[in-house]
Structure 1
């Protein structure tokens, strides 16, 4: 089984359900990517700061070599890290990431955060982080417009088929859309029943951007990172609103959460190490929740954000 697709404003098609590569361990990554392709996944969402792009590329290469897929069958996504926002740094790091992945182009390349940080040469430290070579958070003077112009050149040079943004507010999107020669194809945001971001989602979709949700299971991804809010928040998998719907439709709580998003044309990128759950997470478009049930899940909203740069020492929230 593979995922239905959504048509991007760039003209390309993107699977509605993909596999997220955040926190996939290096020693298992190549096998996980290979097995996910075998299970039917075609979209893989990565980033250079995840530190596993070489292994992702190995899994992809093995799947292509074994005849499971062609490169054209896959939709490979990566992201521009904060310390490469200066206009002249965008293309070199994109080319390094492509080389690490062993591919010629990104299907989608995304600005990871609207935060420009001081450049750190990849030969000094890689994968990158929030701090500079001295271990301090130091901002760059690059504007979003400077960065976006460099992103557009990646499309011109056929290094990226589509470009997008992540963790942008509606106000930043408004600004970007005023000067963008190539409009962002996607907006990737934290999105789950505790953080529905309805007005942002509505605005992005009205402007023709496809919204992709990360952390669809809420606090689950952040418990092991010791994010305090995540420790104190009830698991969505155990919430009676979710579990009752899972029982009604004979689905897992994860499938209900993913269907809540996909039924509203929001793409999802869950990950799982478990082969059974891996397959289940892909089967989230073959049943429909009732409108009232979607509303009951949305009513769980608490504006609870877990992926906030405040947690990483930035000192200010950007949302």
Structure 2
């Protein structure tokens, strides 16, 4: 029986090779809007129900539809105000259902990365062949709709399998070559990028995507109030910013347009963004930019450091 997932090696935070972001910045900061499509009556999955109430769950569907009708525009205008380009965790079915949203994001040069096809269709129970096809479909759809070579992956509704990372690395390389700087957001285990094992030996990393700062986790799971969520974002920033003086850290805010963009929640989010972006020595970037910079500048030294910690083995 496995004692850990096996995707990465033990690598203590202390004494890692120092990271310095572009222009000497001490922190990389990115916002990952989840722009998703939920089906009212999706195919049944025996491993997980799509909705908490019997179908049709009009309430659950309606608030998510609100995100694509109202919340997205509201959040987009706020990110524009603070000079933040979103890195979209995209349900790629949105390219067919709401191409107007895709166009608005393209106009702003936002990044698109894959969050599966529908957020009501899970990886649970898929064969490796089925999961490969789903990943390939999502990456090809992003390329056809945006011209971007998809570099990042977050499993739909966080429904990760043992094969997900291997398949994304393999399919991504088959479609786009090695230059994309492939990364996952699915592991939640660090505040800096981490090299990831793949069965193919493809260069692949994890970059921090925080569940703790995720608005859905905050509002739905932990049931915090908006003002408390805003303070959490500031507190999280302060700690990572202080540590970034020694070696570059990453802060991600994952958002959902039907959560943070509700009118009573937006002010707290805006105050946090204003506070964070008021600091000059942070790099406001996209997930792809962070992954590519790390790959080009720190991937090899990180592998050497990991090997040294683990007795020459990785």
TM-score w.r.t. length of structure 2:
0.47
Structure with greater contact order relative to length (CA < 8 Å, sep ≥ 6): 2
TM-score w.r.t. length of structure 1:
0.46
